[in-house]
Structure 1
Amino acid sequence: MLQIFVITFPFFALVLCGYLAASRRMLPLEAIPGLNGFVLFFALPCMLYRFGASTPIGQLLDVGVLTTWTLCALITVGFTLAVSLNARIGWNDAAFGALVAAFPNSGFMGVPLLVALLGAQSAGPVILTMVIDMIVTTSLCIALSRLDGSDAHGAAEAFKKALKGVLANPMPWAILLGALVSVLGWAPPKPVTQTIGLLADAASPVALFTIGAVLARAQMLAKTGHATVPLLRDYLPVALFKLFLHPLLVWLVGLGLISQGLPLSRFTLTVMVLTAALPSASNVSLLAERFGADNGRIARIILVSTAAAFVTFSLAVSLLL
């Protein structure tokens, strides 16, 4: 267990550093969008491109991962919606709560952390789960969020906007470009490769630091009355779903599908379960804010799951490895 903490501690320590830097105003809150922009449009795409280019194409098109992860995402979204909808929480808030229950922080945290734990061969399954969540899970939840006081036409329009957002997201394109390079066996000129490498190396530390800063900003806005303070029963269960229900579901569904002949290796299933055991994706908070959902509730779910994951994720690793 101590060896696991040795690997996981630096990742969560960087999140804590970002949280302290923002909460103590060492990092101006106005600078956080700039950090987000650097990670989203420069560093993280370069890291994903590098992994995509060095990963066999078969791992990026794994039918077993695609089937298992999509099925579990749909079940998690449906279950979270069913238990969340009430007089206080409508479709908009419930849909984004369902998204943070099903969407782990696979981009900012998952790829570098699981590669450090399991080696470079784990990158392919993690990247594929991230693509599924960005395209399928996110688009579905955004469409569901529009059901408050609207008809099917409104949901369809929201679904189209979600797809446009996916197309504007550089991360899937970086993965696709890396996969294309892998298939063709082509490499960019050495100066370009070195530039990509520098940006890719910056992705993990800056992304983890930014997660902490984003969480601190959400807490500070709530304390100053610029964001709502949700009830404990409205956000704690969803954080527990993310940390316990989601990985357990992936494990059970994966084992069931393997028994039915699905081509899914035990190693790949382990990678998927550990990916599901990660805390909620921090970028969902930005989506919730954009679509007018209760971002205070979403931020609390992300904060609780991130803080608790230092222990729960390490326990998951010790059980599976």
Structure 2
Amino acid sequence: MAEIAGLVLPFFGLIFLGYATARFVDHPGEAMGWMNTFIVYLALPALFFKLVSRTPVDELTRADFILTSVGTTYLVFALIFAVGLFLRRSTIAEATIQGFAGAYGNIGYMGPGLALLAFGEKAAVPVALIFCFENAAHFTVAPAMMAIGGGGKRKLSALLLGIARRIALHPFILSTFAGVAAAFLALEPPAPVQRLIDYLAQAAAPCALFAMGVTLALRPLKRIPAEIGYIVPAKLILHPVLMYLALSLGGTYDLIWMQTAVLLAALPTATNVFVIGHQYGVWQERASATILITTLLSVATVTGLLYLVRSGALPADLFP
């Protein structure tokens, strides 16, 4: 257990330091702009490129793994969406944000750092694949559902162009594709360039986690929505359990790939859910509350999951 604490406490400690700093140091929220720019456009893309470019090409083309992991995430999304729409009588737009709150984990800021700390560099490829394809799906589903619900006012052609642009030009996705190309062509950057990439990659996890803590502090908890009662267990418990079952049923995967996918599914609600809600003026405060509560509770649930993994209580395949 001491090993798990040594792994998890520094990780969540960085989030807490960001939170505490933002609470006690008086800076405007706009001050986070350049930090987020550095993380999204430089540090995390460098990390993805570095790790993916060193991966054998045959590991980068596991369509079965991609379909199973993304399909499981959207099974959770569909379940929460249906509960919101039919039981809570929410609008389509509100149910969509609720669905994302239950299925869209913090795989960008928290995922790479924690997975690499827990499982080593072999976790880089499943992290990159899940991130790229899940976010491509999120970038597509969010505006499409808002358009269906009446929250989007753009023409269909403009909507489709916007979706394609967000997918094609996202820094994480571009850097992953660049890493795939480098792996396929066996290209290695010159030593000075590689050193720069290494510096940026080393800064990715600490900066991302600190920034996440600051972001949570700048969105104080104003009220606890009733939907928390089913969204929180769906995100922190149901999502990883279904991911584990689906991958066990779907085929034979490397142990680290299986563990990485389950860990990413167990992460708390992504801050992007608030961004989507804010963009369309839907469920904003409640999305912020969901992010904060799932992040706090994930200290216990993620620690518990890592303990089960390290103790051998979770076999690589439930149905060998």
User: For residue 213 of structure 2, what is the amino acid of its counterpart?
Assistant: G
User: For residue 246 of structure 1, what is the amino acid of its counterpart?
Assistant: H
Identity within the alignment, %: 26
Cα shift at 1:286:
2.1
Contact 1:122-1:268 within 8 A present in 2 as well: yes
Contact 2:93-2:151 within 8 A present in 1 as well: no
> Which residue in 1 is equivalent to 2:14?
14
Give structure 2 stretches of 5+ with no counterpart. 311-320
Q: What is the aligned-residue RMSD (CA, Å)?
A: 2.3
CA–CA distance in structure 2, aligned partners of residues 43 and 150 of structure 1 = 34
Contact 2:142-2:276 within 8 A present in 1 as well: no
User: For residue 40 of structure 1, what is the amino acid of its counterpart?
Assistant: V
Cα shift at 1:156:
7.5
- Tell me the SS of whatever aligns to 1:44: helix
CA–CA distance in structure 2, aligned partners of residues 154 and 265 of structure 1 = 44
> Which residue in 1 is equivalent to 2:317?
none
Contact 1:96-1:142 within 8 A present in 2 as well: no
CA–CA distance in structure 2, aligned partners of residues 302 and 194 of structure 1 = 35
Cα shift at 1:153:
8.6
CA–CA distance in structure 2, aligned partners of residues 19 and 82 of structure 1 = 34
- After superposition, give the CA deviation of every residue in 1:234-259 in whole Å (9 maximum; x if it has no partner): 2342122110010011111112223x
Contact 1:53-1:179 within 8 A present in 2 as well: yes
CA shift in 2, pair 1:298/1:170, >3 Å: same
User: For residue 277 of structure 2, what is the amino acid of its counterpart?
Assistant: A
User: For residue 21 of structure 1, what is the amino acid of its counterpart?
Assistant: T
1:241 is aligned to 2:241? no
Contact 1:140-1:159 within 8 A present in 2 as well: no
> Which residue in 1 is equivalent to 2:250?
257
> Which residue in 1 is equivalent to 2:279?
290
CA–CA distance in structure 2, aligned partners of residues 72 and 286 of structure 1 = 23
1:175 is aligned to 2:176? yes
Contact 2:139-2:166 within 8 A present in 1 as well: no
1:308 is aligned to 2:297? yes
CA shift in 2, pair 1:29/1:39, >3 Å: same
Contact 1:236-1:301 within 8 A present in 2 as well: no
CA shift in 2, pair 1:145/1:156, >3 Å: farther
CA–CA distance in structure 1, aligned partners of residues 153 and 31 of structure 2 = 39
> Which residue in 2 is equivalent to 1:44?
44
CA shift in 2, pair 1:281/1:87, >3 Å: closer
Q: Normalised by the size of structure 2, how large is the TM-score?
A: 0.89
Give structure 1 stretches of 5+ with no counterpart. 223-228
1:270 is aligned to 2:259? yes
CA shift in 2, pair 1:293/1:232, >3 Å: closer
Correspondences of 1:192-207 after superposition (within 5 Å): 192-207=193-208
After TM superposition, the structure 1 stretch with the greater mean CA deviation from structure 2, 165-174 or 152-161, is: 152-161
- Tell me the SS of whatever aligns to 1:100: helix
Contact 1:81-1:95 within 8 A present in 2 as well: yes
Cα shift at 1:233:
1.1
Cα shift at 1:204:
0.7
After TM superposition, the structure 1 stretch with the greater mean CA deviation from structure 2, 283-292 or 47-56, is: 283-292
